Amino acid sequence: MQTLQVNLGERSYPIHIGERLLDSVELFSNRIRGKQVAIVTNETVAPLYLERLTRTLGSYSVTPIVLPDGEAYKSWQTLQLIFDALLGARHDRHTTVIALGGGVIGDMAGFAAASYQRGVDFIQVPTTLLSQVDSSVGGKTGINHPLGKNMIGAFYQPRAVVIDTATLDTLPPRELSAGLAEVIKYGLICDAAFLGWLETNVDRLRGLDNMALTEAIHRSCAAKAKVVAQDERESGVRAILNLGHTFGHAIETHQGYGVWLHGEAVAAGTVMAMEMSCQLGWLQPAERDRAIRLLVRAGLPVVPPADMTVANFLEHMAVDKKVLDGKLRLVLLKGIGEAVVTGDFAREALESTLCVDYQALTQKLGA
């Protein structure tokens, strides 16, 4: 087992990474302060891991809360199901909420924990690659709104993150690729050497090689923990973690939540962010092309939906968390490993980026 620390003063917590950690009583008991536990999961994950985790927590009073699966259910209505179960089982302020699942479960369980009786403890147990390397770390919680993704929520740190790498054995290939989009992001924004490592090892990652996956998860979590420690509430540098997300969230919102997986939308959005960086003269086309080839090798889409117009993108991008005083800010690259957050660009550059024929660009690369 490997352990990292997210350093946030009194809100600091460990990230444990290893195989069969779902069976470790000690990892959980060290972070549970009361006698009540609520395990929030979904209809897909519950048959795989709910009984096992419940056995591990046998000395506690466990309330299972099984939600419908999918991004489309990341809503107020589904959130109420968590509150209904907590209140129905009379959970008090010493309860601990455990999120067992992917990013949707982690975000909703965390938001419920932040809200229930004005805040109870929670533990992240992510079971998808995307949630293991991204959403489970850093304390972002929330739900979607029909007008914008993740626009309602709270910053609320977990007591611990427990990453059992063996849960990836049951992850569908499409979900694994979606997680790789976030892994590749870390190489692009702050770790050029890691990007090179990914180019060498992407096939091992897609083949579920445990050593490669553990290395990728560890390096990704370490990168995110470092950024979060500097800027917990995304008032500055933390925004670089959103490379490709403004374009990607527009895709998710327009297509309907769940049609494109989050990582798929981020991958296509990352290509758009790199293209705009090229148009501004900040990134070399060869660097953009290098990243496109890696995203394709990871099994990810690099072309935005054909039915989305410039107007569609602009409409959805106007409702983005990085908009300040009515001005859109984007995460762009000044080189591999060097991300910037800026609103200092001409609207013409953005519109030109949205008009690029990404299908032709990709075909030209032979990717």
Helix 173-190 and helix 285-297: axis angle, to 10°?
160
Choosing from 159, 218, 245, 297, the catalytic residue is: 245
User: Nearest 5 degrees, angle CA 164-CA 161-CA 42?
Assistant: 70
Q: Average pLDDT in the 333-360 region? A: 95
Choosing from 74, 238, 288, 329, the catalytic residue is: 238
What pLDDT score was predicted for residue 319?
84
Residue 364 appears among annotated catalytic residues: no
Is it the case that residue 190 has pLDDT exceeding 70? yes
The two beta strands, 338-342 and 330-335, are antiparallel
Choosing from 185, 224, 254, 316, the catalytic residue is: 224
pTM of the model: 0.95
Residue 262 appears among annotated catalytic residues: yes
The pLDDT confidence band at residue 367, using thresholds 50, 70 and 90, is low
- What tens digit of pLDDT does each residue of 131-146 get? 999 999 999 999 999 9
Joined tokens for residue 354: 């949205």
Domains of the chain and any CATH numbers:
2-170 (3.40.50.1970), 173-365 (1.20.1090.10)
Is it the case that residue 149 has pLDDT exceeding 70? yes
Give the number of other Cβ atoms within 10 Å of residue 3's Cβ.
12
The amino acid present at 326, given as its one-letter code, is: G
Residue 52 appears among annotated catalytic residues: no
- What tens digit of pLDDT does each residue of 67-102 get? 999 999 999 999 999 999 999 999 999 999 999 999
Residue 234 appears among annotated catalytic residues: yes
What pLDDT score was predicted for residue 185?
98
**Quick one: what percent of the chain has pLDDT higher than 90?**
93
Residue 224 appears among annotated catalytic residues: yes
- What tens digit of pLDDT does each residue of 256-297 get? 999 999 999 999 999 999 999 999 999 999 999 999 999 999
49: left (phi over 0), alpha (psi -120 to 50) or beta: alpha
Exposed, middle or buried by CB within 10 Å (0-12, 13-18, 19+), for 16?
middle
Choosing from 74, 185, 219, 249, the catalytic residue is: 249
Q: Average pLDDT in the 317-331 region? A: 85
The amino acid present at 356, given as its one-letter code, is: V
- What tens digit of pLDDT does each residue of 13-63 get? 999 999 999 999 999 999 999 999 999 999 999 999 999 999 999 999 999
The pLDDT confidence band at residue 322, using thresholds 50, 70 and 90, is confident
Average pLDDT, the chain: 96
Residue 140 appears among annotated catalytic residues: yes
